[in-house]
């Protein structure tokens, strides 16, 4: 099967997971406004957010090439082509303005080095002050076990066909080091393996880091 067919089938397979994963993301974001950006080929959450009016404007940084037409077709299918802008991009997020994003979502970000290289620094640059990024992969902490069991086998087959790599918390920390963003990031294993990136005001950031150190040293 060609890459676009693999990506399309994987995204369709994961559609039932979206409401549960969205619940986790909405809790994290805690807002109804702002500009929301979905990144990479493993998407679809942005269309659900637009339908729920979580966010005021919506973009997709689409890559690799095979994902671009899939997103454009999906936007037309859902009648959201005027609300969700599909940007031909890459892992550097070319075409996305710096300091323009309030919520960034990048599913599959850590697991497919044959498809793209994750650029944590680029994601951070695109965030506005107060912005947040949810980067990684997994079923989410609210997805029912029976649903996970139902799609796990085929999902694994498709992921492997796309070159999925095995990733650990330590390997993610290693990937973060060149960007010098460890202090702005929290790695969580709730519902998968995710990096939460926050772009805070300088004073707020110092307080957040201090509180985080106190928690880690308890």
Strands ordered across the beta sheet of 57-62: 84-88, 57-62, 35-39, 101-107, 127-137, 193-198, 185-188
Residues of the chain with pLDDT under 70: 202-218
Domains and CATH numbers, the chain: 3-217 (3.40.50.150)
Contact 35, 46 (CB under 8 A): no
Report the C-alpha gap between 214 and 218 in whole angstroms: 6
DSSP letters, 2-14, are -HHHHHHHHHHHT
The predicted pLDDT at position 107 comes to 96
The predicted pLDDT at position 17 comes to 97
Question: Which tokens in the block code for residue 115?
Answer: 């498809």
The predicted pLDDT at position 218 comes to 53
Burial call 28-43: b when 16+ CB within 10 Å, e when fewer: bbeeeebbbbbbbbbb
The predicted pLDDT at position 203 comes to 44
pTM of the model as a whole: 0.90
């Amino acid at each position: 099967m060609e890459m676009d067919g693999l990506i399309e089938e994987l995204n369709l397979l994961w559609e039932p997971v979206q409401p549960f994963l969205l619940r986790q993301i909405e809790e994290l974001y805690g807002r109804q406004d702002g500009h929301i950006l979905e990144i990479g080929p493993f998407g679809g959450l942005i269309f659900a957010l637009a339908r729920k009016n979580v966010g005021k404007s919506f973009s997709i940084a689409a890559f690799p090439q095979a994902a671009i037409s899939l997103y454009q077709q999906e936007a037309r299918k859902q009648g959201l082509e005027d609300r969700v802008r599909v940007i031909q991009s890459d892992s550097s997020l070319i075409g996305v303005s710096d300091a323009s994003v309030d919520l960034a979502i990048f599913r599959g970000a850590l697991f497919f080095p044959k498809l793209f290289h994750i650029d944590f620094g680029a994601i951070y640059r695109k965030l506005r002050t107060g912005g947040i990024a949810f980067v990684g992969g997994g079923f989410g902490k609210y997805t029912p076990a029976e649903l996970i069991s139902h799609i796990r086998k085929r999902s694994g087959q498709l992921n492997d066909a796309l070159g999925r790599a095995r990733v650990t918390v330590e390997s993610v920390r290693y990937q973060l080091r060149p960007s010098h963003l460890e202090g702005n990031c929290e790695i969580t294993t709730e519902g998968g393996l995710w990096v939460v990136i926050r772009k805070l005001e300088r004073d707020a950031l110092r307080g957040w880091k201090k509180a985080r150190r106190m928690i880690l040293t308890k």
